[in-house]
Amino acid sequence: MHASTRYRKVWKNAGSLLFILPALLFYLSFVLIPVLQNVVFSLFEWQGPSGHFVGIANYVRLFQDPIFYNALIHNVIWVSLTLLFPLGIGLVLAATLVKVRHRTSIAAIYFVPRTVPFVVSGAIWGLMYNYEIGLVNFLLDEIGLSSLKRVWLADPSITLYALNFLGAWTFFGFCSLILLNALQNVDPCLYEAAEIDGASSFHQFRYITIPMLKNTIIFLIVYSTIAAMTFFDLVHITTQGGPGYATDVVSLYIYRLVVREGKIAYPATISVMLSIIILGFTLVVIRLRRED
């Protein structure tokens, strides 16, 4: 390559770099450096402002901590249920709505719960789950299913699922709106051709809709997983992780250690581990998509 051409190319790239520099500096200052700082914190033990290096001692403690494992299992259950229900319901809804007039307006109605702050939803659902005067038990009574009445927020065997239902209520509309948007971009000729070939609605859904939505579904899987692994506010408002540790999640555990107990190193260790888990999952999904 001629020297002047190479010089022009470098100069052109330098110009582009200059444009992304403010964002890059912002990212470095408020994301990358704090993340690295967190990793450093996790290798020390802190007594007030001074710390001494302890190597991987905090990670060894983490692997022996039953409260962490318990919270992590709850996060994994939450991720699985989020992928199963809000995403599944959203997909079916989007596939149904795409054939309906005024579909965007209808989808917007489903989206409304997402616009309610989690703190407000949590407070309202806290009352709806009230054993004596709550709407949920009242409705069960009204439709003759009194035997299903439960103490929704105090029974360790069901409280996590009761909260997950609330989480699903806030999330399925978001999934359906995103998927509906993607579906509207699918060429209708594909469905017409399939109909001519005699494909049933189910086959159209299985062999056209899902493959055409693959990228959007992968985005939603990654997005939902990150949200579910780090969710905090709903649990904090409704049960604070209780009864006992029955709805404890990793973010809430970190919050308690930092805010209530004033710890630095150990919650930093948990945060690093949580980041590794989320990053690992995301990389696996991206890799699988590429291989596909």
Partner 1 sequence: MSCKEDKMRKGLTYLLMILIVSSFSAVAAHCQETIFVHVWDQFGYKGMTAGAPAMEKVVNEYMKLHPNVKISRTFYDPIAMREIYLLAIKAGEEPDLAYTWPQGAVMGKLAGAGELYPMTEMAKEFGWFEKLTDLAISYCSYKGDLYAYPFEQDYFGLYYNKDLFNELGLEVPRSYEDLLKLRQKAQDAGYATLAFGNREMWEATNVLSMLFALVAGKEKEEELFFGDAKWTDSEFVEAAQTFRDWADQGFFPAGFNSLTCGERISYFSRGKALMELGGSWVIEPHFEMDFDVGVIMFPQIKKNLPQATMQGVGSGWQISADAPLKVQKEAARFLDLLDSEQFMKIWIEEGKVVPIRKKINWAQYDVPQVMKTFYEEGEKITDVSGYDLHTNLPESVTDVLYRNLQMMLGGTISVQEFLGRMQEAWEKAKAAQEIYLP
Which residues would be at the binding site for partner 1 (CB under 8 A)?
Answer: 48, 126-127, 129-132, 151-154, 156, 239-245, 256, 258-262
Q: Give the residue with the Cβ less far from partner 1, 85 or 152.
A: 152
CA 105 from chain center: how many Å?
Answer: 25
Q: Give the residue with the Cβ less far from partner 1, 172 or 253.
A: 253
Angle at 229 between CA 224 and CA 234, to 5 degrees: 90
Shortest distance (Å) from residue 101 CB to partner 1: 44
Q: Give the residue with the Cβ less far from partner 1, 2 or 52.
A: 52
Q: Give the residue with the Cβ less far from partner 1, 191 or 245.
A: 245
Q: Per residue in 165-196, is it b (16+ CB within 10 Å) or e — as a string?
A: bbbbbbbbbbbbbbbbebbeeeeeeebeebee
- Structure tokens, 59: 């990670």
Distances (CA, A) of 54 to 35, 41, 46, 100, 270: 19, 10, 10, 62, 15
Shortest distance (Å) from residue 243 CB to partner 1: 5
- Find out whether 288 and 217 touch, Cβ atoms under 8 Å: no
| CA proximity to 213, closest of 174, 180, 173, 182 | 182
Q: Give the residue with the Cβ less far from partner 1, 124 or 226.
A: 124
Indicate the residue type of 266: Y
| CA proximity to 178, closest of 278, 86, 264, 262 | 86
Shortest distance (Å) from residue 2 CB to partner 1: 56
Distances (CA, A) of 179 to 94, 111, 194: 6, 12, 21
Residues sharing a CB contact under 8 Å with residue 275, sequence separation 6 or more, in sequence order: 35
Shortest distance (Å) from residue 64 CB to partner 1: 13
- Find out whether 146 and 140 touch, Cβ atoms under 8 Å: yes
Shortest distance (Å) from residue 154 CB to partner 1: 4
Shortest distance (Å) from residue 153 CB to partner 1: 4
What is the C-alpha radius of gyration for the chain, rounded to an integer number of angstroms?
24
Q: Give the residue with the Cβ less far from partner 1, 41 or 152.
A: 152
Q: Give the residue with the Cβ less far from partner 1, 88 or 126.
A: 126
How far apart, in Å, do the first and last CA atoms of the chain sit? 38
Shortest distance (Å) from residue 22 CB to partner 1: 25
* Alpha-helical regions (H) of 43-102: 57-63, 66-84, 86-97
Q: Give the residue with the Cβ less far from partner 1, 132 or 292.
A: 132
Shortest distance (Å) from residue 238 CB to partner 1: 8
